[in-house]
Amino acid sequence: MRECGRSMVEMLGVLAIIGVLSVGAISGYSKAMLKYKLNKQAEAMTILLNNAMQLRPDFPETGDEYYAQLLSKLNLLPDGIELQREGSAYLTDIFGALIWFYGQSPYYGIGYRFDIGGSQKEICANLLNVYKTMHSEIYYIFTDGYSINEDGEEQKEDFGHFYGDAYCEGDNCLYNMSLNDIDMLCHQCTENSTKCRLYVTWK
């Protein structure tokens, strides 16, 4: 009498195939979600920067919390950007990163702090591409961070500056910042420092 059914080896083979397909599906979903978030971030940061520039005459040199509170009260914070908490000087984006404003005569700026690891290099490149499209309005952008020296002390390091159209000379122009330049700035900042930050400034 013949017995019907599958052997243990066949069942293990089926489970292995399902496992491989599941890993591929999860990886594809994660990439799709990252791309979605990057697109939302690019849109939100473009709007945030434009709104801040429009309010330039109303930005006195005062406590940092003023800028975030002003944009919030005027309903000028785009979707995906919100106050960290009521009364805070910080905003957060779709990735949960900290964003802050500052006034430092003769210019104003927005700072962005990365959490090291994960997709921070992709996020950094995404922001630099946003700022590159606004090269005619921007004063300059730069990245900096902190590293630990041989004595175990934390020291600040600048990783490079690129300037807007009215202020650049030669190879430091934001409009012709290359993919290699972007990769270098983001790699040095997110991989070689403990507190990677990206700044964009305007006059």
- Residue 152: inside a domain, yes or no? yes
126 CB neighbour count, 10 Å cutoff: 21
- Residue 2: inside a domain, yes or no? no
- Residue 144: inside a domain, yes or no? yes
165: containing domain: 8-202
This prediction's pTM: 0.80
What percent of the chain is modeled with pLDDT above 90? 44
Angle at 136 between CA 135 and CA 138, to 5 degrees: 65
**Does the pLDDT of residue 163 top 60, yes or no?**
yes
Round to whole Å and give the CA distance between 165 and 110.
19
Give the pLDDT confidence score for residue 193 in this predicted structure.
Answer: 79
127-146 pLDDT tens trace:
999 999 999 999 999 999 88
- Residue 61: inside a domain, yes or no? yes
76-127 pLDDT tens trace:
999 999 998 877 889 999 999 999 988 776 788 999 998 766 789 999 999 9
Q: Which of 10-19, 101-110, 168-177 has the lowest mean pLDDT?
A: 10-19
Question: Domain holding 132: CATH number?
Answer: 3.30.1690.10
Asked if residue 106 has a cis previous peptide bond (ω within 30° of 0), the answer is yes
- Residue 3: inside a domain, yes or no? no
- Residue 82: inside a domain, yes or no? yes
Round to whole Å and give the CA distance between 195 and 197.
6
- Residue 165: inside a domain, yes or no? yes
Structural domains counted in the chain = 1
- Residue 38: inside a domain, yes or no? yes
What are the residues whose beta carbons fall under 8 Å from the beta carbon of 181, sequence distance 6 or more? 160, 162
